[in-house]
Amino acid sequence: MAIKRVGFVGTGIMGAPMARNLIRAGFSVTVWNRTASKAAPLVEEGAVSAASPAAVAAASEVTFSCVSDSPDVEAVALGPGGILEGAEPGSVYIDCSTISPEVARRVAQAASSRGVAMLDAPVSGGDVGARNGTLAVMVGGDPAVFERCRTVLEAIGETIVYVGPSGSGQVVKLCNQVAGALNLMAMAEAITLSRRAGVDPAKMIEVVSKGAAGSWMLANLGPRAVAGDFAPGFMVDLMQKDLRLVLETAAQTDTPLPGAALVNQVLRMLQAQNRGGDGTQAIVDAVARLAGS
């Protein structure tokens, strides 16, 4: 039977456009956000506002969440008035946050004990991908549940890949953040070198981004950094949270990640300047400061 009723908990920079794409795909969508005003535009577009995550889940066959960190997922899923309090047996909970793989497995076990299936399905593509419905979605959990929810996931993403059992989606997302962090650092170093060597960094980006050294970060965030536009598509503080999870997982698995550790330290310079709310492209300023610029 086709899924018709979908819930969404957490309608921030990523969650709001994801919920909007579910509405546009024809699903009946119920929403909740800790700051209710952030969900108001979705209600104007046809979503139904609920009083709690539990109420969202009670109205939904599939309930999504997209919040900031592991404790936030535990709160909205397991806490009083949480998703699992309202979810009907046989329903599905899909978490799109970036959290600890261990926490994802623990929440999945708690869901299973209530007859609710869970998929950990973190996403990549930033606010642009969320708005355009072109996110990459890496999914861990039961493969049969994944297939059942594929049409719902296709409303928010373009590349949707089942990667393994519970927690696997989060492991792949952390790998994504390692690659993304190092691409950010490469972008920052290239822009800084270009400027200090007397070449227009915009011209450098124009050609380098089309060659073998091109990356999403360079093509999309590079021009914003050069223009001094540090509005967040993805905040420094959130990347640091992800790198903390990366380095914790690296420690648990005895995996050396010198590049990720370096980016973590460079971004800490921005946090020390109270710039944790800036977009991650602000790393260009941190590297420029190292160069005395």
Burial of 175 (0-12, 13-18, 19+ CB in 10 A): middle
Q: What gap in Å lies between CA 54 and CA 60, rounded to an integer?
A: 10
Mark the ranges of the chain whose per-residue pLDDT is less than 50: none
Q: What's the confidence (pLDDT) of residue 190?
A: 98
Q: What's the confidence (pLDDT) of residue 7?
A: 98
Burial call 81-109: b when 16+ CB within 10 Å, e when fewer? ebbbbbbeeebbbbbbbbbbbebbbbbbe
Query: Beta strand pairing status for 62-65 and 5-9?
Result: parallel
Query: Could you tell me the CATH superfamily of domain 5-165?
Result: NAD(P)-binding Rossmann-like Domain (3.40.50.720)
Structure tokens at 265: 């330290």
Q: What single letter denotes the amino acid at residue 136?
A: A
Active site residue 173: yes
Q: What's the confidence (pLDDT) of residue 293?
A: 84
Q: Kindly report, as residue ranges, where domains of CATH 3.40.50.720 are found in the chain.
A: 5-165
* Residues 131-165: tens digit of each pLDDT: 999 999 999 999 999 999 999 999 999 999 999 99
Model pTM above 0.85 = yes
Which fold would CATH assign to domain 172-290? N-(1-d-carboxylethyl)-l-norvaline Dehydrogenase; domain 2 (1.10.1040)
Q: What gap in Å lies between CA 131 and CA 29, rounded to an integer?
A: 17
Active-site residue, from 173, 203, 210, 241: 173
